[in-house]
C-alpha cells in the first residue's frame, strides 16, 4: 500500500507513519500544496497513492482544498471509485460544517485527533487496504 501522510506537524506525521509504516510505503507532505503536487506526480508516474491521510488545518493550502484538488486530478485521469485513493481526513476540528464539507468533497472517512492506532487500522481494514 502506497500512502501519503499530510500534516503540518512533523511529530504528528512521524506518529502516523509509525502506526502504519510497516504496512506499506509511506511518503509525507507538510501542507496541502505539497500534498497535491506529490499526488499529481504519483498519478502521472502511474504509481498512485492507495491511501491519503490528510489533516484539515494547514498553512499554504488547507486539507479541504487539497481533497477537492486530489479528487479533480483523479477525475481528469479517469480514476474513479472504487479505484480512487482512499482519503481519510485527520483533524481536531469537530464542527459539523467541516465534517459535512469533507463528506461532500468525497473523503472516505473522518477521524478526530487525538486518535489511536487501532482506530486508524480499523479504517484501513474496512477499506481492504490491510
Mean pLDDT over the full length of the chain: 89
Assessment of whether the complete model's pTM goes beyond 0.85: yes
DSSP 48-73: --SEEEEESS-SSS-HHHHHHHHHHH
- Residue 29: pLDDT band (50, 70, 90) is very high
Alpha-carbon span 123 to 105, nearest angstrom: 18
pLDDT value of residue 79: 87
Q: Are 89 and 107 in contact (CB under 8 A)?
A: yes
pLDDT average, residue stretch 41-64: 94
Express each pLDDT in 84-130 by its tens digit. Answer: 999 998 887 666 666 666 666 588 888 888 888 999 999 999 999 98
- What domains are defined for the chain? 2-125 (3.40.50.2300)
Residues paired with residue 5 on neighbouring β-strands, in sequence order: 28, 53
Alpha-carbon span 20 to 3, nearest angstrom: 9
Alpha-carbon span 125 to 72, nearest angstrom: 26
pLDDT average, residue stretch 58-68: 92
pLDDT value of residue 99: 65
pLDDT at 72 over 90: yes
Relative to beta strand 25-29, strand 2-6 is parallel
Alpha-carbon span 110 to 49, nearest angstrom: 18
Amino acid at each position: 500500500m502506497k500512502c501519503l501522510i499530510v500534516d503540518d506537524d512533523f511529530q504528528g506525521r512521524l506518529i502516523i507513519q509509525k502506526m502504519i509504516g510497516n504496512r506499506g510505503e509511506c511518503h509525507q507532505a507538510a501542507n496541502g500544496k505539497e500534498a497535491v503536487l506529490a499526488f499529481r506526480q504519483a498519478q502521472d508516474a502511474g504509481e498512485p497513492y492507495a491511501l491519503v491521510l490528510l489533516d484539515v488545518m494547514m498553512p499554504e493550502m488547507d486539507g479541504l482544498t487539497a481533497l477537492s484538488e486530489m479528487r479533480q486530478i483523479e477525475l481528469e485521469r479517469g480514476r474513479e471509485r472504487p479505484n480512487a485513493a482512499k482519503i481519510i481526513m485527520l483533524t481536531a476540528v469537530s464542527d459539523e460544517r467541516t465534517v459535512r464539507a469533507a463528506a461532500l468533497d468525497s473523503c472516505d472517512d473522518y477521524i478526530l485527533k487525538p486518535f489511536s492506532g487501532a482506530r486508524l487500522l480499523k479504517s484501513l481494514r474496512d477499506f481492504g487496504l490491510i
